[in-house]
Amino acid sequence: MVEHNNKQQNTPDNFRLLDGEKIYKIRSFKFSPSILKPSSLNEIYRLTAATNEYEVGTNGPAIAALSSGLHSVRHEDQGLYSVIFGRDSLRVAIDLVDHYPKLAKVTIQKLAELQGTTYDTAREEEPGRISHEVRLATDPIAIRLTKERGWGWPYYGSVDATPEFIRTLYAYCKISDHNINFLSQKYIDKNGQNKTIADALVSAVDWIQKRMQDNHQGLLEYKSVLKHGIENQVWKDSWDAYHHSDGTIANHEQGIASIEVQTVSHDALLDAADMYDSDIINKHQEASQLREQAKILAKNIIDIFWTDDKGGYFVIGTDRDNDGNLRQLKIRTSNMGHMFNSRVLDGTEHADKRLAILRQLQSPEMLSISGVRTLASDEIRYREGAYHNGSVWIWDTHHIAKGARRHNDNPDFTAFANDLDDRIINVVDTIGEFPEYVKGGSGIAINTRIIDVYDSKAERINRVEQPPQEVQAWTVAAILATKWRNSR
């Protein structure tokens, strides 16, 4: 490992500083691709503490990431995510639900047991909210985060885990007529109270509805209640991932709404409505209300998040000025591709918008050799190795492909999905691991350095490049699901 610590350090090759930035520290790492062909099956066993396919789901949810064990010099954050993360565990479960239904079942039950029951600022806990990061308070990483950021445990600082919980529950229940009985299964919540999975569902729905009812536009916004909480409580959780087209960071003093959170919440309301109509829950009037609420949300999504700029696309989200006025965060990101996987744009009346998204994602600014870039290459904050501002996340590209395949009435969508599948398989075979993300440049590569810059405008150090986690669970799940589909 080579380390440089000089505030006057020259800018490294293939790296662009933004206005007001200076190099603070650079560290370089060596990386050699594995000569062994990576096995997604073996890695899903490791991530779920299983020894064979029959054990997947018997020992708890998938953890978020692991070290590959192949490298003698490791980035210090390797293994940082070797615990349950609500969003990650649910994504793995829903992507693999057809082959490993037990994994979805155990993930739902575990997260139900940890579901929020009260208001606690340190944990950002709220009744019905699904946990984000599950650690024991005695975990060394938990101790450090509590000291540095004031977090309590489990930590609930995500806004998307709760609707994803509903979606995963529904995906499990609809596998067979028998699975709907899972709603009656009993468990003990974190307060020692006897509950059923149906109770957990209702609590999750109530949490979403309260958030939306407290919002003037009926959106599901996030804003950390902690001084040092996660600023962007979504999967693109880098502090600078949500910004305006001029590069100005979104206003975290007000609520921020992300496009994919709205679409997954829309679908979660519809899924919940179907489960409310079941004989087990039997809430038919409430089910009708949920469907009506989803209809209103779908209209608001299209009205608020669509822009005609650059041929038309859905912006990454909205923030608010200091007076609370809503503003579009008008940048092109991979988030728009998540619309393919939602029912918001289903129907012939939205065919033009689906096609506009497809053309955006196929543009040279959005599509790299590795997959869909998190941020278009012509945006101000684009850097090919940035965590969420130009890199390619394999799960993200897989999710877009999965959604595009839903719209098989147009062969262009199927062809695009197949092309994305080929790209992410090629990435994993080339790298020899299942990385968290890869660079969004012209070649298939991962970051082999840490670059910290001092941002004088934000008055903070920003880690703008770092090596990825070596074995990321939702990367493994995406590759495994893709290979299964291709083998049919």
C-alpha of 184 from chain center? 29
What CA–CA distance (Å, rounded) separates 96 from 138? 32
Q: What average pLDDT does the segment 458-462 reach?
A: 95
Distance of alpha carbon 4 from alpha carbon 209, whole angstroms: 50
**Single-letter code of the amino acid located at 373:** R
* Residue 229 token pair: 């909480």
Q: C-alpha distances in angstroms, 68 versus 316, 385, 404, 433, 436?
A: 33, 21, 31, 7, 12
Alpha helices by DSSP H, listed for 78-149, are 86-95, 101-113, 140-149
Indicate the pairing of strand 449-455 with strand 21-28. antiparallel
pTM of the model: 0.96
Q: pLDDT digits over 356-380, tens only? A: 999 999 999 999 999 999 999 999 9
Give the fold, CATH level 3, of 2-486. Glycosyltransferase (1.50.10)
| Tens digit of each residue's pLDDT (9 = 90 or more) over 191-237 | 999 999 999 999 999 999 999 999 999 999 999 999 999 999 999 99
Q: What is the DSSP letter of 343?
A: G
Alpha carbons 308 and 266: distance in angstroms, whole number: 23
Instruction: Give the whole-angstrom CA distance, residue 316 versus residue 333.
Output: 6
> What confidence tier does 73 reach under pLDDT thresholds 50, 70, 90?
low
Residues 5-42: tens digit of each pLDDT: 444 456 777 788 999 999 999 999 887 777 678 899 99
> To the nearest whole percent, how much of the chain has pLDDT over 70?
97
Does residue 334 contact residue 275 with C-beta atoms inside 8 Å? Answer: no
Q: Where are the domains of the chain?
A: 2-486
d(C-alpha 88, C-alpha 106), whole Å: 14
Tokens 């790209």 locate to 423
Distance between CA atoms of 62 and 466, rounded to whole angstroms? 24
Q: CA of 444: how far to CAs of 12, 26, 122, 129, 439, in Å?
A: 19, 22, 41, 38, 7
| Confidence check: pLDDT of 126 > 70 | yes
Question: What pLDDT does 4 receive?
Answer: 45
